[in-house]
Amino acid sequence: MPSLQKVYMNHQQKPLVFDSLILQHKTDIPQQFVWPDNEKPNSEKVKELAVPLVDLGGFISGKSSSAKETANFVGEACKKHGFFLVINHGVNASLIEDAHRYMDLFFALPLVEKQRAQRKVGESCGYASSFTGRFSSKLPWKETLSLQFSSENSSSNMVKDYFENTMGKEFTRLGKVYQEYCNAMSRLSLRIMELLGMSLGINQAYFKELFEHNDSIMRLNYYPRCQQPDLTLGTGPHCDPTSLTILHQDSVGGLEVFIDNEWRSIAPNQNAFVVNIGDTFMALSNGRYRSCLHRAVVNNIIHRKSLAFFLCPKKDKVVRPPDELVDEKNPRIYPDFTWSTFLEFTQKHYRSDMNTLQAFTNWIQQNKHMN
Ligand SMILES: C=C1C[C@]23C[C@H]1CC[C@H]2[C@]1(C)CCC[C@@](C)(C(=O)O)[C@H]1[C@@H]3C(=O)O
Ligand SMILES: O=C(O)CCC(=O)C(=O)O
Ligand SMILES: [Fe+2]
C-alpha cells in the first residue's frame, strides 16, 4: 500500500495564483499543470460509452410496476460500472438553465471578487482556483465553487445565506437558485437511493434513515479553455469518495470513465443527469456496487461547466452495510466509519484518487493503534 500521498503544499511555499482570464491565453501552460505521461489524456478521441439510460417517469409518478423494473435496471448498471443516466427526473429544466447561467456569471467575475469566497485550508467549501495552495503538482485545470448543503429543515437556507454573507446582497438571487437546485438534487438523490435499496433487496428504511438528513456538497466545476489540453486534466482520475453523485454537464463534453482498461467518454445530454456510485456507497453496499474511476478533460476551443451534487450521509452517522449484505460468503470489506472522518481525510491527508477508500481504511487502522 503506497504511503499516504504527501501532495499537499507546505505552508512556506508561496501558492501560485491561477487567474483563468490570463492562463487560458497562455500558449505554454505552467509546469504545475502538466500531468505525468501515464495520466495525460490520450490525444486521439476516446470512444463514447453507451451509458444505461434510466427513465424515472413511471417510478416518480408512483407506478409500482415500474419501481421494481427500474430498480433492477439501476442495479445492473451499478454492478457493471456504477454509472447511469436518469431522464424524466422531475427537476425543472429552467432551474437547470439558471444554475448554468449563474455559473457563467460567477466565474466571469474578476479573480479578486471570486476570492471573497476563497476556500479556507482544510475546509471543503468555498472558491478554489486549481487548488493552488493545496497541491504542489498535477494541478487541475479548473476553478471550483463548493457549497455545503444540509437537508435539515432548520438550515434549509444554508446555500442562499452563504452567498449573501460571503458575496453580498447582490448575490441573493444567485443564492436562491443554488438553494433551490440543491433542494431538488437532495429530493432526486433520495428517490435514487430508494431504487438502490430495492435493487440490493434491503429494507427501504435503511438508506432513507442514513440520507434523509444529509450533509451534502454542491460543487460547481468551471474548466477554462486551455491552449495545451493534451498536457493537463480538468479533474484528475478519481473515484468520488462520497455516496452518490448527480452531475449535470453542459453541452461541451469532457467527462470520461475508465472501463475495461480504457477511457470512454460520456456524451452530453441536457435532459439527463449523470449518476454514479461513490466510495461511501461502495462501503455501504459491502462492495456489491463499485465506485468507478473517472476524470474530466479540457479543450482549446471553449470553457466547460459541470454541476456535481455529492450526496453524503449526516456527518456523524456510522457508515455500515445492512446485515442483509454481510454473511459468510460476503464478509465485511470496510470498517465502520463516519462521513465526517472520511471527508477530513480527503481534505487534510489524502488527495482523492482511485485508492482513496483503501488508503482511508489503512489510515483508520494505523490511527487505531495510536489511540
Ligand atoms: C468529498 C469530495 C472531495 C472532492 C470533492 C468531493 C467529491 C469529489 C472529490 C474530488 C473532485 C476528487 C478528485 C480530486 C479533488 C481534489 C478535485 O479535483 O477536486 C476532489 C475534491 C476535493 O478534495 O476537493
Ligand atoms: O466535470 C465533470 O464532468 C466531472 C467532475 C467530477 O468528477 C467531480 O467533480 O468529482
Ligand atoms: Fe468525480
DSSP 263-310: EEE----TT-EEEEE-HHHHHHTTTSSPPPPEEE---SS--EEEEEEE
Told to judge if 187 belongs to the known catalytic residues of this protein, a careful annotator would answer: no
Q: What separation in angstroms does the CA of 340 have from each of 216, 314, 315, 318, 349?
A: 11, 8, 5, 10, 13
- Domain range list for the chain: 4-370
In CATH terms, the fold of domain 4-370 is Jelly Rolls (2.60.120)
Q: What is the ipTM of this complex?
A: 0.99
Residue ranges of the chain with per-residue pLDDT less than 50? 1-7
Q: What residue's CA is closest to ligand 2, atom 9?
A: 308
DSSP state of 323: G
Q: Specify the 3-state DSSP secondary structure of 112.
A: helix
- Check residue 155 and give its pLDDT: 62
Q: What is the DSSP letter of 39?
A: T
Q: In the chain, count H helices and then E strands.
A: 11, 14
Q: What is the SS3 assignment for 86?
A: strand
Q: Whose CA is nearest to atom 14 of ligand 1?
A: 352
**What is the Å distance from ligand 1's center to 83 Cα?**
18
Task: Give the ligand with the smallest distance to the CA of 122.
Answer: 1
Q: Which amino acid is at 97?
A: E
Ligand 2 atom nearest to CA at 255: 3
Which H helix or E strand runs over 262? strand 262-265
* Whether the CB of 306 sits within 6 Å of ligand 2: yes
Instruction: Name all residues whose Cβ lies below 6 A of ligand 1.
Output: 140, 217, 219, 235-236, 238, 240-242, 310, 343, 346, 351-352
Q: Which residues pair with 145 in a beta bridge?
A: 127, 220
Q: Per this entry, what is the length of the chain?
A: 371
Burial of 36 (0-12, 13-18, 19+ CB in 10 A): exposed
Question: Model's pTM, two decimal places?
Answer: 0.95
Question: 44 CA distance to ligand 2 centroid (A)?
Answer: 21
Helix axes 64-80, 172-199, angle to 10 degrees: 90
Tell whether ligand 2 has an atom less than 6 A from the beta carbon of residue 242: no
- Assign 100 to helix, strand or coil: helix
Q: What is the Å distance from ligand 2's center to 222 Cα?
A: 10
Q: 329 C-alpha to center of ligand 2: Å?
A: 35
The confidence score (pLDDT) of residue 121 equals 80
Cell for 366?
494505523
Instruction: Using a CB cutoff of 5 Å, list residues around ligand 3, an ion.
Output: 240
DSSP state, 118?
A: B
134-143 pLDDT, tens per residue? 888 999 999 9
Q: Which three cell numbers stand for residue 316?
A: 456523524
303 lines ligand 2 (CB under 6 A): no
Q: How high is the pLDDT of residue 134?
A: 85
Query: Catalytic residue among 264, 290, 304, 351, which?
Result: 304
128 ligand 2 Cβ < 6 A: no
Cα dihedral: 273, 315, 278, 67 (round 10): -60
Listed in sequence order, the residues at least 6 apart from 283 whose beta carbon sits closer than 8 Å to its beta carbon are 319, 321, 333, 334, 337, 357
